[in-house]
């Protein structure tokens, strides 16, 4: 086969696309994964990072709840290094109906989610940050999952199984012959080159942008972009996920993930035009804080690191064109049976937690269409990095070595620490060394500083890149062909960090921002005051 | 404790004010909550780099009249400004700090990433370039200290090459420095400079640089020399033997820290009392006056003075505080220039003018602080705690600090005697 | 979150002033060990880094921090919470000042030559890892407390005003002369002195050696004892050791979480207390006419953290005939028990070197300093004697004339 011909093309480098690509590749298919930006840039990288137990859905949507708990247990096995087994509480506050707790726990247990009503005093002892006024608590097997890592591990495994991955590649055309999709035309946004790729099946896993992909193929999906805003706190406020035990509402989940706690979310329907570059508003920030402090009162005075927003692709069921009836579960559309468009499949809806199942369903359909009879193995075969590693208390081991193991799991052993420079910290807040950055650039498809951040947590810490952005800009050897590119990337990185800082610009964050302004606008002379001669 | 003047804030503004007052025989105390923003200096003092529309300013004094009313420079007035500007170099020389450049003109500086920016005066090891070409030499050896990541020789060399120089990047180190790199986090400018301060390390380093020369007419070094001993950069340049240019590093700033130490030492030599690591408690203004201050460490031993100066810096130094609701001045609760609506505090584009940088305390024409619309008769504001100008957008941080401090010192002497 | 670690802006100013970083590349520096490390330790205790033990707890990082973060406190607390839970015999010996002091006082005639003897030092060095180059402070034959009770206690009632003296271990076991000077000066100023029943070591060495439980017990005990001795904080409590004052005032609440609210404001250093009395015109000092001395004042780290070195300086400046040089701010390197440990000796001396050099240049008659461990270090590392400002005051004052001027006796 030509290197432009594949068995299946997957559009979208979010977790759904990555999971689908991995599944297809593991079944022996020749896979092309195409992503318009970096992997995990859409909703995948813009959520809580909650490893749902499914408890949240148990009362309203039993099917989703059952899917969640099954996938939850699978992820603990196949993606150990992406998961933190924290457990979660569903707390009842005095203003909530305590009667709901029993309904809730019963529904959880019916769905196979181990839910245990515990004494509020015990909850306070286990999680001291929890609102001390709570009158009820249910313990469920929630956890935290790092979506960047999870997505990267799926992409990596897909590649290990022969998949080709194109990032920064925008689908500009879906090529059809009659009613059959034959392939796609792709624009490499870095080189400006257009290329064509062919496959008997193209999978649309574009998240909210999948709406436009479907239109390109001549299909229409009834999608509704729902913006959700979240806040990241400076450090871990809690070590157990805290949820409100009531019907899902704004800002009712606080998830400890890595070195921070994440509070979310709001939910607002927005027009499609606004899906790119959504920004968190001041009102959303205020709402999140006022609701969040009911979960953990300490949030009221805890430094906020940044705010961010994602767009969830809500899909209306096909039988309801008004869009009032939103499907909560996985939506797999075979456009051949639905619209008469052959060789085209859309996978949407669902959630981060069920990405693997979405991939499985999609791969099943793809295989069926291709007449391939390989079974799905993604629930059993661990992702790269998931191998068990010791995270014992080793006081002699440097923090960065432990942090690397936390981030890369078993693959951390591939990070080279052969000299003192490779042991040197670039990002001091998140303990990212030169060695880890070299590893990321060599192995994890890093094209710029923002990608590097997603692979390593560089620039994700307290100073949001103030201290380390310039250092890292000096280290990326392949991504930057010249110093001008490095400077442009450095400015773009700082701009990207500011996007999340701008909505929370007060208190310590404002002090930090002012300092960052001095360093980059003042000392380095970046920005619109750049008076460098151009001749 | 009784002083003539108590100054809150021990950075560039507070120390300039304190030194000016001590030189006139006034007994001052400075209370500083931690070290100052001089630790992040570029090694150059800006006066007024850019006009409101972003054009580089050549003769700063000429551009003052176009500044908005209420700007500290407008309050001082061109005549006094000119006098103060002339006094800056001698004032600093008296503190053992060499400043270079023509005070009546702006110069150019090379940034830590190889760019060029306008500026005003510079510390002794730097060059006040007269054109934006910032010419260093035709063949330049740019020194990289292996393992030191806060100075990127590649970026600096690329900048020089853009402006017509031929550059060669050369790694130079000595054992002591590589020892420092054994520490994952502590190979910082200040720690390198601490090693270089013990004479022989700098000498060996300079000799190693000289050995690597192959016909270059200039050497560029990161400004990591002379934390306590300002003769080190000069000594190193002499050993290297060709033109040696120092380029500022990313923070912390060795020349800036040295300047801070020198200014403090000069202030103390003149009899001033410098209290570091203490915080002034919220204090009362009674009958339009400040009577005394309490600090966290001094407890019931209060600081009395005839006049008080607030030179506590902006948000970074906690001279101003921003909550989700509003911007305040935490010691006296003074009136501040600041937008009420939080969404107007900043611009969504990081590199555009950020309004919050210009927030600060309101003051009258003589820099008296204003509370509830009324001037406080013996409380003055100096430096970036004062509002009414945007030091980053206009490039005026050091200039406004020094000028307002000198002006406040004169006001205090003329009013209080 | 009273250490305020989330205010850290990563400005790195603390690292500029850390005395350990330049001499010990194993120490991660105050920023990494403190606020940076804390975020990771909150995630999981396994991120604790053993090299935190190299922190001197000098608090210079805290004095320098523009954000008011109690960096040293974060590190000390982390050592106690996450560090090795077993204490080495050596560390315990150094830290248990009361126990060691009580034993050694009894055997002072034996203990002093023994501790100074070469074979003993060699054993301490190789077995206990206490550096053989260290000079041990001599133990006194009679405890300060014993002397006071026997000779002074009865006469204290006659003074019109009262103050409580927290003498600390050093005065009690090693150097009662300082305590005697304090009593003499305070009596001359019209203050009767009382001691604290059951006073225990402030616990600074226990904190530094991460013996948190012992430190906590001692702190609780002392706060109660001081409360009762000071009539619930109504009487002034003075000390002649900057570290004891600092520990009781700040380390108790910040590091050990012991509420000292009733007494904190009244626990002070003698120099600050006396300065305020003079400043407010409550007492007069009459100095000996012929007093002459050339003095170099070294501000101990904890004195700088207290922000009280100015009181020692101002008090010394009041003495006519005293030629005062204030030395540059520089840690002497001993940091209590830190410098006694074999692994720290070289580093400890390297930290202090700029200070020793400057003292050599000044060539004073003696050094003035408010801290006993600085005294050991400076007396061992320079040829000069070190005197507490209270001792200098006692020598310079005409005590009888002062007593008369203050209208009693």
Q: Which domains does chain C show, CATH number per domain?
A: 5-82 (no CATH), 293-399 (3.40.50)
Cβ of residue A392 closer than 8 Å to a chain C Cβ: yes
Chain C, nearest residue to A466 by Cα: C10
Residue C408, pLDDT score: 63
Look over chain C and give the mean of its residue pLDDT values, rounded to a whole number. Answer: 91
**Average pLDDT rounded to a whole number, residues A266-288:** 93
Residues of chain B found within 8 Å of residue A484, distances taken between Cβ atoms? 158
Cβ of residue B185 closer than 8 Å to a chain C Cβ: yes
Cβ of residue B164 closer than 8 Å to a chain C Cβ: no
Rounded CA separation B350/A465 (Å): 13
Cβ of residue B104 closer than 8 Å to a chain C Cβ: no
Q: What are the pLDDT digits (tens) for B397-417?
A: 999 999 999 999 999 999 987
**Using an 8 Å Cβ cutoff, are B236 and B230 in contact?**
no
What Cα–Cα distance (Å) separates residue A99 from each residue in A124, A248, C52? 20, 16, 50
Q: Please give the span between the terminal C-alpha atoms of chain A, in angstroms, as a whole number.
A: 50
The alpha-helical segments, DSSP class H, found in C241-344 are 242-246, 252-254, 270-279, 301-306, 309-317
Paired residues of A358 in beta bridges = none
Q: Is residue A535 pLDDT above 60, yes or no?
A: no
- B-contacting chains (≥3 CB pairs under 8 Å): A, C
Q: Is residue B374 pLDDT above 90, yes or no?
A: yes
Task: Count chain B–chain C contacts defined by CB atoms under 8 A.
Answer: 102
Sign of CA dihedral C6, C10, C14, C20: positive
Q: How far is C246 from chain A (nearest CA, A)?
A: 28
The B residues from 3 to 42 touching C (CB cutoff 8 Å) are 33-37, 39-40
**Using an 8 Å Cβ cutoff, are C206 and C95 in contact?**
yes
Interface predicted TM-score (ipTM): 0.98
Chosen for mutation from C28, C37, C58, C307 (greatest number of chain B CBs closer than 10 Å) is C307
Three-state secondary structure along A333-395? EEHHHHHCCECEEEEEECCHHHHHHHHHHHHHHHHHHHCCCCCCCCCCCCCCCCCCCCCCCCC
User: Would you state the structure tokens that stand for residue C87, as one six-digit string?
Assistant: 């204490």
What Cα–Cα distance (Å) separates residue C247 from each residue in A469, B409, C73, C239, C359? 40, 40, 11, 11, 28
Cβ of residue B317 closer than 8 Å to a chain C Cβ: yes
**Using an 8 Å Cβ cutoff, are A384 and A159 in contact?**
no
Chain B, nearest residue to C303 by Cα: B297
Q: How far is C10 from chain A (nearest CA, A)?
A: 6
Q: What are the pLDDT digits (tens) for A175-211?
A: 999 999 999 999 999 999 999 999 999 999 999 999 9
Q: Is residue A322 pLDDT above 70, yes or no?
A: no
Residue A533, pLDDT score: 46
**Using an 8 Å Cβ cutoff, are C79 and C28 in contact?**
no
Cβ of residue A431 closer than 8 Å to a chain C Cβ: yes
Residues of chain C found within 8 Å of residue B275, distances taken between Cβ atoms? 307, 310
Which of A394, A403, A463 lies closest to C40 in CB terms?
A403
What Cα–Cα distance (Å) separates residue C216 from each residue in C181, C259, C393? 31, 11, 35
Q: What are the pLDDT digits (tens) for C345-385?
A: 888 999 999 999 999 999 999 999 999 999 999 999 999 99
**Average pLDDT rounded to a whole number, residues C188-193:** 96
Q: Is B48 left (phi over 0), alpha (psi -120 to 50) or beta?
A: beta
Residue A456, pLDDT score: 97
Look over chain A and give the mean of its residue pLDDT values, rounded to a whole number. Answer: 94
Look over chain B and give the mean of its residue pLDDT values, rounded to a whole number. Answer: 96
Q: pLDDT class for C126, splitting at 50, 70, 90?
A: confident
Cβ of residue A154 closer than 8 Å to a chain C Cβ: no
CA torsion, ordered A137, A139, A140, A141, to nearest 10 deg: 140
Q: Which residue in this structure is represented by tokens 């959520």?
A: A47
Chain centroid to Cα B335, Å, comes to 25
Rounded CA separation B25/B272 (Å): 10
Which of A285, A514, A524 lies closest to B316 in CB terms?
A514
Which of B152, B184, B392 lies closest to A518 in CB terms?
B392
Residues of chain C found within 8 Å of residue B180, distances taken between Cβ atoms? 25
Which of C28, C35, C46 lies closest to A391 in CB terms?
C46
Closest alpha carbon to C211 in C299, C120, C96, C107: C96
Instruction: Decide if B252 and C13 are in contact by the 8 Å CB cutoff.
Output: yes
Q: pLDDT class for B75, splitting at 50, 70, 90?
A: very high
**Using an 8 Å Cβ cutoff, are A413 and A429 in contact?**
no
Instruction: Decide if C307 and B39 are in contact by the 8 Å CB cutoff.
Output: no
C108 vs A122, which has greater pLDDT? Answer: A122
Residue B327, pLDDT score: 98
Q: pLDDT class for A323, splitting at 50, 70, 90?
A: low
Q: Which domains does chain A have, with CATH numbers?
A: 8-43+148-221+318-370 (3.50.50.60), 82-144+224-310 (3.30.9.10), 399-527 (no CATH)
Which of C10, C43, C50 lies closest to A462 in CB terms?
C10
Residues of chain A found within 8 Å of residue B152, distances taken between Cβ atoms? 470, 473-474
User: Would you state the structure tokens that stand for residue C384, as one six-digit string?
Assistant: 């000069």
Instruction: Decide if C66 and B257 are in contact by the 8 Å CB cutoff.
Output: no
Three-state secondary structure along A193-261? CEEEEECCEEEECCHHHHHHHHHHHCCCCCEEEEEEEEEEECCCCCCCEEEECCCCCCCCEEEEECCEE
**Average pLDDT rounded to a whole number, residues A413-432:** 96
**Using an 8 Å Cβ cutoff, are B174 and B204 in contact?**
yes
A166 vs A329, which has greater pLDDT? Answer: A166
Instruction: Decide if A425 and B42 are in contact by the 8 Å CB cutoff.
Output: no
Under 8 Å CB-to-CB from C346, ≥6 apart: which residues?
A: C23
Instruction: Decide if B179 and C25 are in contact by the 8 Å CB cutoff.
Output: yes
Which of A424, A425, A517 lies closest to B357 in CB terms?
A517
Q: What is the CATH number of domain B136-247?
A: 3.40.50
Residue C2, pLDDT score: 66
Instruction: Decide if C10 and A466 are in contact by the 8 Å CB cutoff.
Output: yes
Which of B158, B348, B351 lies closest to A528 in CB terms?
B351
The domain ranges of chain B are: 5-98+256-416, 136-247
C209 vs C387, which has greater pLDDT? Answer: C387
Q: What are the pLDDT digits (tens) for A19-31?
A: 999 999 999 999 9
Instruction: Decide if C13 and B34 are in contact by the 8 Å CB cutoff.
Output: yes
Q: How far is A387 from chain C (nearest CA, A)?
A: 19
B125 vs C136, which has greater pLDDT? Answer: B125
Cβ of residue A514 closer than 8 Å to a chain C Cβ: no
Rounded CA separation C103/C106 (Å): 6
C232 vs C94, which has greater pLDDT? Answer: C232
Task: Count chain A–chain C contacts defined by CB atoms under 8 A.
Answer: 81
Task: Count chain A–chain B contacts defined by CB atoms under 8 A.
Answer: 169
**Treating both helix axes as pointing N-terminal to C-terminal, what angle do B200-212 and B189-197 enclose, rounded to 10 degrees?**
100
Chain C, nearest residue to B250 by Cα: C11
Rounded CA separation C268/C312 (Å): 12
Per DSSP, the three-state class of C168 is: helix
Q: How far is A514 from chain C (nearest CA, A)?
A: 10
Q: What are the pLDDT digits (tens) for C246-300?
A: 999 999 999 999 999 999 999 999 999 999 999 999 999 999 999 999 999 999 9
Chain A, nearest residue to C12 by Cα: A467
Cβ of residue B159 closer than 8 Å to a chain A Cβ: yes
Q: How far is B321 from chain A (nearest CA, A)?
A: 7
Residue A393, pLDDT score: 65
How much of chain B, in percent, has pLDDT values that exceed 90?
A: 95
Angle subtended at Cα A424 by Cα A420 and Cα A427, rounded to the nearest 5 degrees: 170
**Average pLDDT rounded to a whole number, residues A445-474:** 96
Instruction: Decide if A429 and C36 are in contact by the 8 Å CB cutoff.
Output: yes
Residues of chain B found within 8 Å of residue A482, distances taken between Cβ atoms? 158
Residue A247, pLDDT score: 85
* Whether residue B176 has a cis bond before it, omega within 30° of 0: no
Superfamily of domain B5-98+256-416, CATH level 4 = FAD/NAD(P)-binding domain (3.50.50.60)
Chosen for mutation from B186, B254, B300 (greatest number of chain C CBs closer than 10 Å) is B186
Rounded CA separation B115/B113 (Å): 6
Residues of chain C found within 8 Å of residue A515, distances taken between Cβ atoms? 9, 11
Chosen for mutation from A395, A398, A470 (greatest number of chain C CBs closer than 10 Å) is A395
Rounded CA separation C9/B313 (Å): 15
Instruction: Decide if C307 and B180 are in contact by the 8 Å CB cutoff.
Output: no
Q: What are the pLDDT digits (tens) for C64-121?
A: 999 999 999 999 999 999 988 777 777 777 777 776 666 666 666 666 776 677 767 6
Residue C1, pLDDT score: 45
The alpha-helical segments, DSSP class H, found in A59-142 are 62-78, 99-110, 120-126
Q: pLDDT class for C396, splitting at 50, 70, 90?
A: very high
């Amino acid at each position: 086969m030509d290197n432009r011909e594949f068995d299946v093309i997957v559009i979208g480098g979010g977790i759904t696309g990555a999971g689908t690509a991995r599944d297809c590749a593991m079944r022996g298919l020749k896979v092309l994964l195409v992503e318009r930006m970096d992997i995990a840039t859409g909703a995948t990288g813009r959520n809580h990072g909650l490893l749902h137990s499914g408890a949240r859905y148990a009362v309203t949507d039993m099917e989703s709840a059952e899917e969640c708990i099954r996938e939850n247990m699978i992820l603990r096995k196949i993606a150990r290094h992406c998961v933190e087994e924290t457990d979660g509480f569903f707390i009842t506050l005095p203003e909530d109906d305590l009667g709901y707790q029993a309904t809730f726990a019963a529904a959880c247990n019916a769905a196979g989610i181990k839910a245990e009503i515990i004494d509020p005093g015990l909850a306070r002892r286990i999680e001291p940050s929890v609102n001390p006024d709570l009158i009820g608590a249910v313990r469920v097997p929630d956890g935290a999952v790092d979506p960047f890592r999870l997505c990267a591990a799926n992409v990596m495994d897909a590649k290990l199984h022969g998949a080709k991955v194109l990032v920064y590649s925008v689908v500009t055309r879906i090529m059809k012959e009659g009613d059959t999709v034959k392939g796609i035309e792709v624009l490499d946004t870095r080189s400006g080159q257009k290329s064509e790729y062919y496959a008997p099946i193209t999978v649309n896993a574009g998240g909210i942008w999948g709406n436009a992909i479907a239109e390109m193929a001549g299909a229409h999906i009834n999608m509704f972009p729902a913006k959700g805003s979240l806040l990241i706190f400076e450090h871990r406020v809690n070590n157990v996920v805290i949820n409100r035990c009531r019907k899902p509402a704004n800002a009712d989940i606080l998830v400890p993930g890595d070195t921070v706690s994440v509070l979310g979310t709001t939910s607002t329907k927005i027009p499609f035009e606004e899906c790119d570059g959504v920004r968190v508003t001041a009102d959303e920030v205020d709402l999140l804080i006022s609701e969040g402090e009911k979960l953990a009162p300490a949030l009221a005075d805890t430094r906020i690191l940044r705010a961010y927003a994602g767009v969830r692709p809500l899909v209306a069921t096909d039988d309801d064109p008004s869009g009032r009836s939103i499907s909560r579960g996985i939506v797999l559309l075979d456009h051949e049976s639905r619209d008469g468009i052959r060789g085209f499949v859309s996978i949407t809806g669902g959630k981060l937690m069920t990405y693997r199942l979405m991939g499985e369903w999609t791969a099943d359909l793809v295989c069926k269409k291709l007449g391939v009879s390989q079974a799905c193995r993604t629930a059993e075969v661990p992702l790269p990095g998931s191998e068990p590693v010791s995270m014992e208390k080793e006081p002699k081991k440097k923090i960065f070595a432990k942090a690397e193991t936390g981030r890369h799991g078993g693959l951390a052993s591939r990070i080279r620490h052969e000299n003192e420079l490779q042991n040197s910290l670039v990002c001091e807040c998140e303990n990212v060394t030169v060695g880890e950055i070299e590893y990321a650039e060599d192995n994890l498809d890093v094209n710029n500083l923002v990608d590097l951040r997603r692979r390593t947590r560089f620039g994700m810490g307290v100073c949001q890149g103030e201290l380390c952005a310039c250092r890292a800009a000096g280290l990326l050897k392949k991504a930057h062909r010249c110093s001008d590119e490095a400077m442009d990337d450095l400015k773009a990185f700082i701009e990207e960090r500011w996007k999340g800082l701008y909505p929370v610009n007060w208190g310590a964050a404002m002090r930090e921002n002012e300092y960052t302004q001095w360093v980059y606008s003042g000392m380095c002379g970046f920005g619109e005051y750049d008076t460098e001669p151009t001749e | 404790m009784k002083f003539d003047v108590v100054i809150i804030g021990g950075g560039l503004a507070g120390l300039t004010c304190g030194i000016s007052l001590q030189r006139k025989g006034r007994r001052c105390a400075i209370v500083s909550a931690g070290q100052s923003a001089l630790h992040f200096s570029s090694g150059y003092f800006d006066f007024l780099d850019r006009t409101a529309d972003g054009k580089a300013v050549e003769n700063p004094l000429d551009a003052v009249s176009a500044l908005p009313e209420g700007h500290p420079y407008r309050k001082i007035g061109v005549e006094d400004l000119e006098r103060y500007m002339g006094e800056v170099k001698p004032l600093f020389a008296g503190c053992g700090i060499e400043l270079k450049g023509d005070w009546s003109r702006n110069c150019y500086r090379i940034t830590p990433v190889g760019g060029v920016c306008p500026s005003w005066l510079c510390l002794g090891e730097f060059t006040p370039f007269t054109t934006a070409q910032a010419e260093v030499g035709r063949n330049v050896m740019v020194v990289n200290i292996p393992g030191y990541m806060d100075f990127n020789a590649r970026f600096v060399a690329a900048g020089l090459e853009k402006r017509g120089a031929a550059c060669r990047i050369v790694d130079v180190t000595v054992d002591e420095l590589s020892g420092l790199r054994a520490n994952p986090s502590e190979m910082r400018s200040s720690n390198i400079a601490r090693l270089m301060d013990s004479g022989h390390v700098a000498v060996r380093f300079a000799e190693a640089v000289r050995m690597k020369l192959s016909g270059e007419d200039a050497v560029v070094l990161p400004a990591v020399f002379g934390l306590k001993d300002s003769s080190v950069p000069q000594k190193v340049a002499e050993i290297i033997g060709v033109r040696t240019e120092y380029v500022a590093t990313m923070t912390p700033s060795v020349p800036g820290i040295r300047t801070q130490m020198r200014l403090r030492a000069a202030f103390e030599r003149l009899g001033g009392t410098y209290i570091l690591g203490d915080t002034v408690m919220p204090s009362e203004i009674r009958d339009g006056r400040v009577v005394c201050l309490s600090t966290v460490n001094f407890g019931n031993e209060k600081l009395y003075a005839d006049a008080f100066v607030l030179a506590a810096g902006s948000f970074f130094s906690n001279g101003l505080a921003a909550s989700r609701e509003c911007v305040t001045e935490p010691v006296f609760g003074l009136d501040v220039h600041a937008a009420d609506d939080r969404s107007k505090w900043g611009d969504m584009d990081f590199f555009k003018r950020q309004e919050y940088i210009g927030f600060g305390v309101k003051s009258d024409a003589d820099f008296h602080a204003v509370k509830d619309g009324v001037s406080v008769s013996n409380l003055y504001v100096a430096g970036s705690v004062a509002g009414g100008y945007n030091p980053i957008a206009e490039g005026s941080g050091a200039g406004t600090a020094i000028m307002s401090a000198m002006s406040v010192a004169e006001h205090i002497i003329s009013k209080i005697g | 979150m009273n250490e305020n670690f989330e205010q850290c802006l990563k400005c790195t100013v603390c690292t500029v002033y850390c005395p350990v970083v330049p001499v010990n590349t194993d120490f991660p520096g105050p920023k990494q060990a403190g606020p940076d490390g804390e975020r990771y330790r909150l995630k999981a205790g396994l991120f604790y880094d053993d090299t935190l033990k190299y922190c001197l707890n000098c608090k210079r990082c805290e004095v320098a921090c523009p954000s008011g973060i109690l960096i040293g406190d974060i590190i000390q607390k982390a050592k106690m919470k996450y560090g090795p839970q077993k204490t080495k015999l050596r560390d315990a010996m150094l830290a248990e000042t009361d126990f060691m002091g009580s034993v050694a006082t009894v055997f002072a005639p034996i203990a002093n030559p023994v501790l100074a003897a070469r074979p003993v030092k060699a054993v301490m060095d190789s077995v206990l890892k206490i550096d053989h180059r260290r000079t041990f402070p001599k133990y006194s034959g009679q405890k300060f407390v014993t002397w006071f009770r026997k000779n002074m206690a009865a006469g204290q009632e006659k003074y019109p005003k009262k103050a409580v003296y927290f003498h600390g271990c050093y005065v009690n076991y090693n150097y009662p002369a300082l305590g005697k000077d304090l009593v003499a000066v305070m009596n001359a100023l019209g203050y009767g002195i009382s001691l604290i029943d059951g006073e225990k070591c402030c616990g600074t060495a226990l904190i530094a050696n991460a013996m948190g439980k012992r430190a906590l017990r001692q702190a609780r005990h002392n706060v109660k004892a001081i409360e009762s001795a000071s009539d619930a904080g109504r009487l002034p409590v003075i000390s002649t050791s900057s570290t004891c004052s600092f520990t009781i005032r700040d380390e108790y609440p910040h590091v050990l979480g012991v509420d000292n609210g009733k007494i904190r404001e009244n626990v002070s250093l003698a120099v600050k207390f006396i300065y305020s009395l003079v400043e407010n015109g409550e007492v007069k000092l009459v100095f000996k006419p012929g007093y002459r001395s050339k003095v170099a004042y070294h501000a101990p780290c904890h004195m700088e953290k207290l922000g009280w070195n100015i009181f020692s300086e101002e008090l010394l400046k009041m003495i006519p005939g005293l030629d005062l040089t204030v030395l540059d701010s520089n840690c002497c390197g001993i940091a209590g028990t830190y410098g006694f440990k074999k692994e720290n000796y070289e580093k400890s001396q390297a930290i202090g070197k700029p200070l020793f050099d400057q003292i050599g240049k000044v060539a004073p008659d003696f050094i003035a300093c408010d801290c006993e461990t600085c005294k050991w270090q400076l007396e061992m590392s320079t040829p000069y004697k070190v005197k507490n400002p209270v001792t200098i005051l006692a020598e310079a004052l005409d005590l009888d004339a002062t007593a008369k001027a203050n209208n009693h006796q």
